[in-house]
């Protein structure tokens, strides 16, 4: 089971009231095993995912990423950096599922400017 599917499954579990979901080889999720099996020619390619598995994977994933909350509450996620790292020009970030774009005020003294998710400028107040 890929960690990507487990992370996506955690988001599915946020919206359904079941303890197990199934995923096919195309990354499609189902709350009903029969529907999942019917989506594949080979039923062995359908895998169950429990809520506990998905929650654990999502927690690990969040711990690996650097998340910086801006002054206005936006969450910049640097997937290639870990907590404790300091972003530098050239690093990439997202806000939610979208590429970071424009200027983000990190503090009174610091702002980051992004172009298509790439950190292009770090501005420090004098």
**57 and 70, same domain (yes or no):** no
Phi and psi at 92, nearest 5°, equal: -110, 145
Per-residue pLDDT reduced to its tens digit, 27-78:
999 999 999 999 999 999 999 999 999 988 877 765 678 999 999 999 999 9
Position of tokens 């910049």? 76
Q: Are residues 16 and 54 in the same domain?
A: yes
Let me know the angle formed at the C-alpha of 102 by 62 and 84, rounded to the nearest 5 degrees. 30
Same domain, 43 and 94: no
If one counts the domains in the chain, the total is: 2
Q: pTM higher than 0.75 for the full model?
A: no
Among residues 34, 61, 88, which one ends one of the domains? Answer: 61
- Of all helices (H) and strands (E), which one includes residue 6? helix 3-13
Domain of 106 in residue numbering reads as 65-124
Q: Check whether residue 10 and residue 53 sit in a common domain.
A: yes
């Amino acid at each position: 089971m890929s960690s990507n599917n487990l992370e996506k499954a955690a988001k599915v579990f946020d919206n359904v009231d079941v303890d197990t979901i199934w995923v096919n080889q195309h990354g499609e999720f189902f709350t009903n095993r029969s529907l999942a099996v019917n989506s594949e020619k080979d039923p062995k390619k359908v895998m169950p995912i429990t809520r506990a598995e998905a929650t654990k994977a999502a927690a690990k994933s969040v711990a690996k990423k650097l998340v910086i909350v801006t002054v206005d509450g936006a969450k910049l996620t640097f997937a290639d950096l870990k907590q404790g790292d300091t972003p530098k020009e050239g690093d990439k970030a997202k806000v939610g599922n979208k590429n970071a774009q424009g200027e983000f005020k990190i503090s009174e003294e610091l702002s980051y400017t992004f172009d298509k998710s790439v950190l292009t400028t770090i501005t420090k107040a004098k």
